A and B are shown apart, each in its own frame.
Chain A
Amino acid sequence: MAARRYSIWSLIRNALAYHEGWARAWRAPEPKPAYDAIIIGGGGHGLATAYYLARDHGIANVAVLEKGWLGGGNTGRNTVTIRSNYLRDPSIRFYEHARRLYEEMSQELNFNVMFSRRGQIDLIQTWAKLRDARRRSLSMALVDAEYEIITPEEVKRRVPLVEIDPTARLPILAATWHPGAGIARHDAVAWGYARQADAAGVDIIQNCEVTGIRRDGGRVTGVETTRGPIAAPRIGVAVAGHAGVVAAMAGLRLPIETVPLQAFVSEPLKPVLDVILNCPALHVYLAQTDKGELIIGGAADGYTSYAQRGGLHVIEQSVATLIELMPRLKRVKMLRQWAGMIDLTYDTSPIISATPVDGLYLNVGWGSGGFKAIPASGEGFAHLLATGRPSPLIQPFGLDRFAQGRLVLETAGASNRE
């Protein structure tokens, strides 16, 4: 059932046939009554998990259940920054592994995910942040990830748009340079994994909302869905903002709150920015897409919500700081704005874990930073679902860390509590 390979030849062949011969990239099967494993949530994490279950563990009798459409959650709403400049050793190791998998993802999936290694500059505007950057660069050196401190003049040379006036309200003291960081096409990541998982035999079932989790004596036996009950001895939950809602179906409470996070894009411009520029002190970051739009993100809204929208004042704040930093963008028009519902854990690190309910596994709590993690999370979660044990890379992110006081406190996210 291997997917028909995409290549320059398939492109030419199909062009000569007026593009009428392209096959569907994945099937739209009816749900079967039972599977070896069910994954709830057809975002990047759920789809990648299905792919690695088939590739690494030979488990392909799997269903991915998605209540809407593939990638319609946070995966299709994110600002696509892929980086590994985290604070704690377990995070750096994990995200650097994910970043490296992104570099070869297009080849691996035979799907152009448009990964583009831009490099990231973090502006440093406080002395505390400068100390933090120094610490990060040393920690990152331990896993051979480059992260160096550069001067304001070097920032100006690389990004002429940025003002480095030493008399500014918050002058730029220094910056960091993270050459491995990049961006990729968000939908393509979901679609690439979906296509290969489907080819391996996984059933991807859209418009299928899970409404209940069936249990028998502390063990999962399956799920209730809007398309009828489906049985499975193992269930993986990868529903981002809905983590608490789905966990409650199995009687669990999580250390998670769901809050809105917004982003917006400008009209397309000529090339003005070839790096990812992040300004943690002012809560704004941006990159320029291949189409020329500036894609801009900022701080999260300040309260829990499932409304999938946020307040205008949060965006106004991002724009105000952007213009303070880059006055020449003042007359650029903004085209679109949207929000996702992010699942924030107490320590802003993810939860990839078994639970007190046998056969129920969680892959949630990615907050504002889970896009970059998709390949490594899918690999690790597939290992957990297949063997019942965490792989070394995901072991630090278990649910038990809260009781054991092993928090992985990160302050690197857009929504952090710095």
Chain B
Amino acid sequence: MEAGSIAHQFVQQLINGVSLGSIYALIALGYTMIYGILKLINFAHGDIYMVGAYVGFFATSILKLSFFPALLMAMVVAAVVGMVIERVAYRPLRNSPKIAILITAIGVSLFLEYGGMLLVTPQPRTFPAVFAAELYNFGGIVINSQQIVILAISIALMIILTYVVQKTKAGKAMRAVSFDTDAAKLMGINVDQTISFTFAVGSGLAAAAGVLVGIYYNSIDPLMGIMPGLKAFIAAVLGGIGVIPGAMAGGIILGIIEAMVSGFISSTFRDAAAFGILIIILLFKPSGLMGKNVREKV
């Protein structure tokens, strides 16, 4: 490749990477918030993303909703599913050994995947074209209008989330519970309610990612959450698990790395690169890029 075409390719992959990365970021945020508050890796989180994609699919194809109402509906339904999972599966184990909740999370994940197959059949579905994908060509660099939508919505959601976490009473309660649960209780914070709220927000964001991916790749299936779930987990660890801006940055960085590997080496190495990053991070900086080296709370 000559220099000009390498630069070209670089910019093109950067654009692809940022839009893919913003999807990872949306999912990673839920992982990180739930970890922050419960010290639990919610393995079912990727499947919530799948649930969101299906709700978006049925909302647009059967209920004939347009994009925004469908997106909102997917987020709300997934938020409720997330809260129910926490209430039914995790809360009864709040004081059990961590491993019990972890195994339960894997169980919930399998339940959603295979329960989903039972409910909606394993057949992949074609997501309706909610809006036409227009291709804009800027001197050889192609931007899909859907990429712009993905990025715009992801950014908007991240801004709203940041506002909620930083400025609202519920957000402050969430940070307080994450930092020191007993001290938060002594402030009069209802910890159960705050944990429910965290699951609702995290699940809503994952659902939004599910709908956006459905629109972008057209195809959804009950196991679609597995790989993005793992990638988003890597993104959360990369950014520093428990750190909200870390999840955003980790998602975008991972998306860019994957796109670059696909573009310059081969797309077959894309997943290997992601897992390679996980191993490197865990070996050299387990607290992640933006994580503090905090001691495990006792």
Bound pair (A, B): no
